[in-house]
Amino acid sequence: MWLLSTDRAELTEFSSPESVPQGYAILSHVWNKGPGAQEQSFQDVQAIRSRCIRRRENPRDFVSEKIRQSCILAARDGYQWIWNDTCCIEKTSSAALSEAINSMYRYYSCAEICYVYLADVPSSEDPIYVDSSFRRSAWHTRGWTLQELLAPTLVLFVSSDWRPLLTKARLADVISEITSIPADILTLGRRIEDASIAQRMSWAVGRQTTRLEDRAYSLMGMFGITMPTLYGEGPRAFQRLQEEIMRRSTDTSLFAWGLRRWEYVDMPDETRLNPELLLHFGGGGYSSLFAESPSDFSMPKEAAMFHPSGPMVRPFYFILFMSCRN
């Protein structure tokens, strides 16, 4: 695990997140896009350090604004180290990249604090306001930021000018409205594992990733899964994720996908609770046991919230099982 020193923005390698003296901070953000907005890489930061050693200058003064400000913020809060996914992963090595992706949930869960930098949220607005920039932030729509929201114990949201806003705990009700993640999970009143697999999958509905494979890789940590990352495999990545979940879990809500919200809402009550009627109403047309993407888990809250042994999961599983036999 590579970390940046907050006083000089120099990279140092540690054997594990747990081995970092006095812990570390971690950054969550949406990557810059567009001309001239490229994020600095591992190699960029190392090159800056080499130049500054010769000139006897502080590398932190020459890294990007995002890296510099995150270092300053963490140092101000007493942290000596910070992790940033743009420059703390050696992405030219496929082995190092795969290890980092498989360890990323752990990196965030072990961090003392996670700073969420919101480039599209000004400090002048109240995040709780019904039409606030916070509610519309692109950060809520990205695939990787789901685990970055859930894994850390302490999450502090930061405005576009790097001013602290509020914590995840203080904004739990607002975030729950935006993401459909129950507030008691956001405030650590309930474990993530207490939510069914289908419900956890539904939290990823509508989230976007640049690479198709990352729709699966960004969810591995939330399900406690490790598997090789194979960029180029396309939608097969999400199928492999579901296969790994099936091997390790008895939660049959993994198969509770494919019934669209409007189908469920339009059903009469007697149909919703009857597996055989459900099969005729909405169970046909699916040729695979596994969903094609997290979007297939878009389902009514009433269905997603039930635990594996709950009354709604088995009807959905029955639908998928029967449709795959036909």
What DSSP assignment string belongs to 3-51?
A: EEETTT--EEE-S-GGGSTT--EEEE-PPP-STT-PPP-HHHHHHHHHH
Confidence of residue 33 (pLDDT cuts 50, 70, 90): confident
Check residue 298 and give its pLDDT: 84
CA 283, 305, 244 angle in degrees (round to 5)?
70
Check residue 35 and give its pLDDT: 60
**pLDDT at residue 147 is higher than 90:** yes
Check residue 268 and give its pLDDT: 58
- Domain spans in the chain, listed from the N-terminal domain onward: 2-190, 244-325
Of the candidates 290, 239, 301, the residue with the CA atom closest to the CA atom of residue 264 = 301
Distances (CA, A) of 109 to 35, 63, 103, 150, 206: 33, 26, 10, 8, 24
Long-range pairs of 91-100 with CB within 8 A, sequence gap ≥ 24: 91/41, 91/42, 92/42, 92/43, 97/229, 98/228, 98/229
Check residue 252 and give its pLDDT: 86
What 3-state class would DSSP assign to 296?
Answer: helix
Q: What is the mean pLDDT of the chain?
A: 86
- DSSP-derived letter for residue 153 is S
Q: Give the pTM.
A: 0.84
Average pLDDT in the 130-153 region?
A: 96
Confidence of residue 285 (pLDDT cuts 50, 70, 90): very low
**pLDDT at residue 317 is higher than 60:** no
**pLDDT at residue 272 is higher than 80:** no
